[in-house]
Amino acid sequence: MIYLDYNATTPIDVNVLEAMLPFLKDFYGNPSALYRSGRIAHSAINTAREQIAALVDAPPSHVVFTSGGTEANHLALASLPRQGRLAISTIEHPSITEPAIRLKNTGNVLDLIDVDNNGVITSLAINEVIKNKPDLVSIMLANNETGAIQDVASFAQILKEHKVIVHTDAIQALGKIPLSFRQLGVHLMSLSSHKIYGPKGCGALIFDKSTPITPVLLGGDQEHGFRAGTENVAAIVGFGKAAELAKNDLSQRTEHLESLKKLLETDLMTIPNLTIFAQQATRLPNTTQLGIPGIDGEMLLMKLDKKGFAVSSGSACASGSENLSPVLGAMKIEESLAKSAIRISLGMHTTKTDIIEFIKQLKILVNPL
């Protein structure tokens, strides 16, 4: 199989797996326990906290481990005060849009921040939403479908002047572009392990000490009371190791991805009528979402699968659903073009040969269709 769906998930790095194994086999003690194997587990969690903090330039004490990016996003939105006013962009991941809709249905106000045709939020849209005096604004740093990167640092600066709590879902940006919590200037930032060659089911929320976090899960006082529940030690250790590797290799990884994306997109543009979505936006170095009018994206995906290529028709959650991508809808992409969308997302194991093979196959498949 030629795997071209790294935005959906990544294969676990062998070094990550090796780092995790002792915590599944030998050091199984509860990290809250006072005896040796518990203390070893507890200390391993704190090492992981430091590794993740180092990757995103944040203090280790500001990292709360969660069961994944989805939970980190829920925890972030829980900082909305009662009967508060929340604003999110129209291109957020369902793990933001769905809890936001629930908040709206339970007595809060929800505003939407529009994007332009390239899936980019403008400062005009931010200034518009400020007029509504929101309590919390959530804007993703990089979009999972198009790869479009938002100017979160500038927006955070403006929003903070108006005393707004700012959250960013940085899950797709992590490990692909340099990321500094301090420089972004946000209050809350969500991360996920399985997008950076770590295990699934592990994530983190980075928080600013001035932001009141309301725990979603209550119980024990793990994670300083911000997230109750016995920690998934092996997964946290794996996330930490994956973060350490990402920090060490970031520039090589980015360079590798950029050069492959360039090769891919140059060749794609030779296909008649092909559109690369958000082409004018600054995008992640690994993400290309394309459409060809008259082609059914789901059908193309299946045909590619039969030929041994794994690609997506949008976000992993949207794949297989009848609905068109809300992201492309928000960008006002015409329905027939949006219906043809497929997303190719590259990773550190992608090779030049993979790209050449993919293009060759794609050209064969789209011609007779």
Ligand X SMILES: Cc1ncc(COP(=O)(O)O)c(C=O)c1O
The interface with ligand X within residues 22-61 (CB under 6 A) comprises none
Nearer to ligand X, 318 or 362 (CB): 318
Among the listed ranges 62-70, 98-106, 108-116, 216-224, the one in contact with ligand X (CB under 6 A) is: 62-70
Position among 23, 31, 53, 70 found at the interface with ligand X (CB under 6 A): 70
**How many of the chain's residues bind ligand X (CB under 6 A)?**
16
Taken in order 269, 270, 271, 272, the sign of the CA dihedral is positive
Q: Which of 10, 51, 79, 95 binds ligand X (CB under 6 A)?
A: 95
Instruction: Answer yes or no: 202 catalytic.
Output: no
Q: At its nearest, how many Å lie between ligand X and the CB of residue 212?
A: 23
Please give the single-letter amino acid code of residue 147.
G
- What mask of x and - would describe binding to ligand X in positions 151 to 190, judged by CB under 6 A? ------------------x-xx------------------
Residues 205-264 that bind ligand X (CB under 6 A): none
Q: Which of 177, 354, 148, 193 is nearest to 255 (CA)?
A: 177
Burial of 60: CB neighbours in 10 Å, binned 0-12, 13-18, 19+: middle
Nearer to ligand X, 69 or 297 (CB): 69
- Closest distance of CB 53 from ligand X, Å: 19
Between CA 81 and CA 135 the distance in angstroms is 7
The residues, any chain, with a CB within 8 Å of residue 35's CB and separated by 6 or more, are 29
**Nearer residue to ligand X within complex by CB, 235 or 366:** 235
Q: By CB under 6 A, what part of segment 311-350 binds ligand X?
A: 315-316
Q: Which of 258, 239, 271 is nearest to 361 (CA)?
A: 271
The three-class DSSP label of residue 309 is: strand
Residues in CB range of 63: below 8 A, 6 or more apart: 49, 52, 53, 204, 205, 206
Instruction: Return d(Cα 290, Cα 340) in angstroms, integer.
Output: 8
Nearest to ligand X of 130, 316 (CB atom): 316
DSSP label at 342?
A: E
Non-local CB neighbours of 278 within 8 Å, separated by 6+ positions? 118, 119, 120, 143, 146, 147, 148, 289, 331
According to DSSP, residue 367 is labeled T
- Spatial separation of the C-alpha atoms in residues 65 and 72, rounded to whole Å: 8
Residue 69 is a binding residue for ligand X (CB under 6 A): yes
**The two structure tokens encoding residue 233:** 């030690």
Active-site residue (options: 299, 317, 359, 365): 317
User: If you search the block for the tokens 């193309």, which residue do you land on?
Assistant: 300
Which of 77/362 has CB closer to ligand X?
A: 77
Our CB check for ligand X shows the closer of 48 and 140 to be: 140
CB 20, min distance to ligand X, A:
17
Q: Site residues for ligand X, window 134-153 (CB under 6 A)? A: 140, 144
CB of 194 or CB of 253, closer to ligand X: 194
Q: For ligand X, which stretch binds (CB under 6 A), given 35-43, 63-71, 240-248, 341-349?
A: 63-71
* E-assigned strand segments in the chain: 2-3, 63-66, 85-89, 109-113, 136-138, 165-169, 188-192, 203-207, 275-276, 287-291, 309-310, 342-345
Write down the least CB distance from residue 272 to ligand X, Å. Answer: 31
Residues lying near ligand X in the complex (CB under 6 A) are found at 68-70, 73, 93, 95, 140, 144, 169, 171-172, 192, 194, 203, 315-316
Q: Which residues are catalytic?
A: 317
